[in-house]
């Protein structure tokens, strides 16, 4: 788009832009194509628009640089969803360096995730011992809270394809539990609670809420497949400690993103298909959809009182959250606040007062005041939609919102390829009739089509307004071409000043979706395992050896650079072998690997960690089991012979 056209567009403003109607899909395509008009060589620090010139990037960025000198550490962690790779990525920020990948839902060749017995037990297996699933699609990641800030215990991540939720321990940065949600398809939004709705002493996360996006027959066993009026979706509550599903709410329409209040009383999900349509034109037919507010305390009272049913073979209590059954505020479990056309993200402001819904097919952001939603539940406010305190136009294709802790919101505009910075209080004043209230503070072009956005500490009470990361779905011309599959472009933006300043582009493999950014001192990672973490630990090299019980054979060994405790071990063809390896090296960073050629076995053991694998010794011969993780000057010599006698 030429600069002149930009000026004209800015001058006419967004006020004349209308809601996108059924042509929205064509509009989406046109928006993507239009971006090809952007000059390929536009400098990253070019002003976003003449109406909102950015400060010169060089001078501003010098105090907030992304470049760290060798040996310098980042000041923030970023936890990123890995997308199709089914893992979680750990970044250091502001450098954007990828430090680690935590496998969750999909096998991982480095760690041996999906190979070891321990990881298979977390991932889930079929009766034959093979993994139940080997594909995943992670979208959203959020971490546990205490006192309104992250407490460094856990993070959670979803798998949309197979409706699974994984928990990550943030001491070892490993996945330790995975739960498959019953009667849910297309599990999308996820958010932990921040406090208990009833007991103020519980000021930390004990529940994780999960939004089910696709409506299905319940149970989905072949009944009602041709009757979409019988399709429903569910909002689920998972226990943060046990990872069991505590309860589910059957709703009208579907769930999209999820948010939770700081007082623990409300959880919400945006809904883009109040029509219950099964084709996209049906899903877009209504001018307003909804943000559903769940009254957590009332739902749990209803479950306690036995006012629930179960679905199919699942024992999980399901309460009725349908619109029809929740019209009386005094007894309602769910409140349906109306929101313009197909909203996407819903985000909680760090002051605890508002949830903000991004319009997607409407150029608006809707600000909902939580105290008023509670007033409605208490019978103090007649019209539920009076909880909407602002509904303002911000640009085309609003998707997600982040916060700086200074009263400003930052929303991605997918169609405009922009971030808009807007002031929440000014938007509320404008909505109330003060047409002089200027709520749009700044706009910044991003490259291109931004989806998720998050700022340092954004959805915590400690939002610090320093860095903003944005996941751009299309990178087009920003990186060297590598064939038809382009990386996505994650951009880092300095939001410490009045104007946003673009700091860096980072290519990423598709497609990460969501992420959080928090101060590094909020986690206390351990460098070495505790031997007692595994009941199988081989604590002394003298305990190594082969024990046989008929065809079942156990091989115990230890590793200490540069040797395994057994120089060789003998098996017979057809044995069912369980091999247990403990790494007795207790020095930080001294990890060993263990690979068995032709047996499809490779895994690592970190300092004082124990892992096991089980396999059938079906191929006779000599197999040099070797260390795959560089450990010592004699690393190549670090081997043991597995001899399988015919």
The span of 46-54, 96-104, 398-406, 623-631 binding Cu ion (CB under 5 A) equals 623-631
> With respect to Cu ion, which residue has the nearer C-beta, 266 or 627?
627
State the nearest-atom distance from the C-beta of 528 to Cu ion, in Å. Answer: 16
- For residues 400 and 592, which CB has a smaller minimum distance to Cu ion in the complex? 592
Residues 82-121 that bind Cu ion (CB under 5 A): none
Strands 592-596 and 576-583: unpaired
318-320/245-251 β-pairing? parallel
**In the complex, least distance from residue 115 CB atom to Cu ion, rounded to whole angstroms:** 17
**What is the nearest approach in angstroms of Cu ion to the Cβ of residue 566?**
14
**Parallel/antiparallel/unpaired status of strands 639-645 and 568-572:** parallel
Candidate list 631, 640, 642, 644; residue touching Cu ion; CB under 5 A: 631
Smallest distance from Cu ion to CB 540, Å: 19
Which range in 33-41, 65-73, 254-262, 632-640 contacts Cu ion by CB under 5 A? 632-640
User: Residue 389: in which H helix or E strand, if any?
Assistant: strand 388-393
Residue 537: CB minimum distance to Cu ion, A: 18
Q: Which is nearer to Cu ion, 208 or 631 (CB)?
A: 631
Distance CA(461)–CA(481), nearest Å, equals 41
Residue pair 221/312 in contact by the 8 Å Cβ criterion: yes
Distance of alpha carbon 165 from alpha carbon 155, whole angstroms? 10
Token output for 14? 């967004």
CB of 604 to Cu ion, least distance (A): 9
Q: Which residue has the tokens 């920003």?
A: 478
260 CB-side CA count, 13 A: 31
The b/e string for 474-509 (b: 16+ C-beta within 10 A; e otherwise) is bbbbbeeeeeeebbbbbbbbbbbeebbbbbbbbebe
Indicate the residue among 280 and 630 with the shorter CB distance to Cu ion.
Answer: 630
Q: How far is CA 88 from CA 156, 186, 393, 527, in A?
A: 9, 19, 34, 19
Between 139 and 592, CB nearer to Cu ion: 592
The smaller minimum CB distance to Cu ion, of residues 431 and 639, is found at 639
Q: How far is the CB of 631 from Cu ion (least distance, A)?
A: 3
Torsion angles phi and psi, residue 316, rounded to 5: -70, 130
From CA 27, how far away is CA 20, in angstroms rounded?
8
Token pair belonging to 537 = 């630990």
Residues forming a β-bridge with 635: none
370 and 346 Cβ atoms separated by less than 8 Å: no
Q: Are 159 and 180 in contact (CB under 8 A)?
A: no
Residue 394: partners with Cβ closer than 8 Å, 6 or more residues away: 14, 363, 364, 365, 411, 413, 420, 422, 440
Asked if residue 439 lies in contact with residue 404, where contact means CB atoms within 8 angstroms, the answer is no
CB of 169 to Cu ion, least distance (A): 25
Is 638 near Cu ion (CB under 5 A)? Answer: yes
Find the shortest distance in angstroms from Cβ 6 to Cu ion: 58
**CB burial of residue 279 (10 Å; 0-12, 13-18, 19+):** exposed
| Minimum separation from the CB atom of position 602 to Cu ion (A) | 13
Q: Which of residues 452 and 592 has its CB atom nearest to Cu ion in the complex? A: 592
Number of residues that bind Cu ion (CB under 5 A): 4
The one among 251, 441, 571, 627 contacting Cu ion by CB under 5 A:
627
Q: Mask of contacts with Cu ion, 562-601, x by CB under 5 A?
A: ------------------------------x---------
Q: Pick between residue 251 and residue 638 the one whose CB is nearest to Cu ion.
A: 638
Pairing of strands 552-560, 601-605: unpaired
Question: Which CB, 161 or 561, lies closer to Cu ion?
Answer: 561
Least distance from Cu ion to the Cβ atom of residue 605, Å: 9
Which CB, 341 or 611, lies closer to Cu ion? 611
Is residue 605 at the binding interface for Cu ion, with CB under 5 A as the rule?
no
Query: Does residue 266 belong to the site contacting Cu ion (CB under 5 A)?
Result: no
Q: What are the residue ranges of helices labelled H in 124-252?
A: none
Question: CB-wise, 138 or 606, nearer to Cu ion?
Answer: 606
Binding site for Cu ion (CB under 5 A): 592, 627, 631, 638
């Amino acid at each position: 788009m030429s600069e002149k056209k930009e000026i004209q567009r800015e001058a006419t403003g967004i006020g004349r832009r209308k809601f996108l109607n059924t042509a929205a899909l064509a509009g989406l395509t046109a928006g993507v194509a239009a971006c090809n008009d952007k000059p390929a060589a536009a400098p990253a620090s070019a002003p976003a628009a003449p109406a909102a010139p950015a400060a010169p990037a060089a001078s501003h960025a010098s105090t907030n640089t992304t470049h760290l000198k060798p040996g310098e550490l980042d000041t923030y962690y970023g936890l990123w969803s890995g997308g199709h790779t089914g893992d979680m990525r750990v970044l250091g920020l502001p450098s954007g360096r990828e430090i680690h990948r935590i496998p969750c839902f999909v096998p991982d060749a480095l760690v041996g995730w999906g190979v070891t017995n321990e990881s298979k037990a977390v991932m889930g297996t079929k009766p034959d011992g093979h993994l139940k699933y080997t594909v995943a699609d992670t979208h959203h990641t959020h971490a546990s809270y205490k006192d309104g800030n992250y407490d460094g215990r856990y993070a959670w991540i979803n798998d949309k394809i197979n409706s699974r939720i994984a928990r990550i321990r943030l001491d070892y940065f490993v996945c330790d539990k995975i739960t498959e949600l019953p009667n849910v398809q297309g599990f999308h939004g996820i958010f932990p609670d921040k406090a208990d709705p009833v007991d103020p002493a519980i000021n930390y996360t004990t529940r994780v809420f999960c939004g089910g996006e696709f409506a299905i027959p319940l149970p989905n066993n072949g009944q009602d497949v041709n009757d979409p009026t019988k399709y429903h979706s569910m909002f689920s509550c998972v226990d943060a400690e046990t990872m069991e599903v505590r309860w589910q709410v059957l709703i009208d329409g579907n769930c999209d993103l999820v948010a939770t209040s700081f007082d623990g009383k409300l959880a919400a999900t945006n809904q883009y298909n109040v029509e219950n349509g099964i084709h996209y034109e049906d899903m877009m037919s209504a001018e307003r959809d909804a943000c559903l507010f769940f009254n957590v305390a009332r739902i749990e009272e209803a479950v306690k009182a036995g006012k629930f049913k179960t679905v199919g073979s699942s024992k999980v209590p399901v309460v009725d959250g349908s619109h029809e059954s929740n019209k009386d505020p005094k007894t309602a479990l769910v409140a349906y606040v109306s929101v313009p056309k197909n909203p996407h993200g819903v985000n909680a402001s760090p002051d605890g007062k508002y949830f903000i819904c991004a319009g997607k097919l409407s150029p608006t952001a809707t600000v909902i005041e939580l105290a008023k939603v509670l007033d409605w539940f208490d019978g103090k406010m007649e019209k539920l939609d009076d909880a909407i305190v602002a509904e303002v136009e911000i640009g085309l294709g609003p998707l997600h919102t982040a916060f700086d802790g200074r009263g400003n919101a930052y929303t991605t505009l997918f169609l405009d390829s922009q971030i808009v910075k807007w002031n929440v209080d000014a938007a509320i004043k404008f909505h109330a009739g003060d047409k002089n209230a200027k709520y749009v503070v700044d706009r910044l072009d991003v490259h291109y089509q931004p989806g998720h956005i998050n700022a340092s500490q954004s959805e915590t009470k400690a939002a610090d307004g320093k860095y903003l990361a944005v996941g751009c779905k299309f990178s087009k011309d920003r990186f060297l071409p590598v064939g038809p599959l382009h990386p996505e472009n994650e951009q880092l933006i300095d939001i410490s000043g009045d104007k946003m300043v673009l700091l860096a582009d980072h290519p990423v493999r598709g497609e990460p979706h969501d992420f959080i950014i928090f101060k590094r001192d909020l986690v206390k990672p351990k460098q070495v395992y505790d031997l007692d973490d595994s009941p199988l630990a081989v604590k002394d090299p003298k305990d190594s050896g082969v024990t046989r019980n008929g065809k079942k054979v156990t091989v115990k060994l230890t590793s200490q650079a540069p040797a395994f405790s057994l120089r060789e071990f003998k098996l017979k063809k057809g044995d069912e072998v369980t091999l247990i390896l403990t790494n007795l090296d207790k020095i930080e960073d001294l990890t060993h690997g263990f690979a068995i050629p032709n047996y499809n076995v490779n895994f690592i053991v970190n300092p004082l960690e124990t892992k096991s694998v089980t396999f059938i010794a079906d191929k006779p011969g000599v197999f040099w089991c070797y260390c795959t993780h560089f450990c010592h000057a004699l690393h190549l010599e670090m081997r043991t012979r597995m001899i399988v006698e015919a």
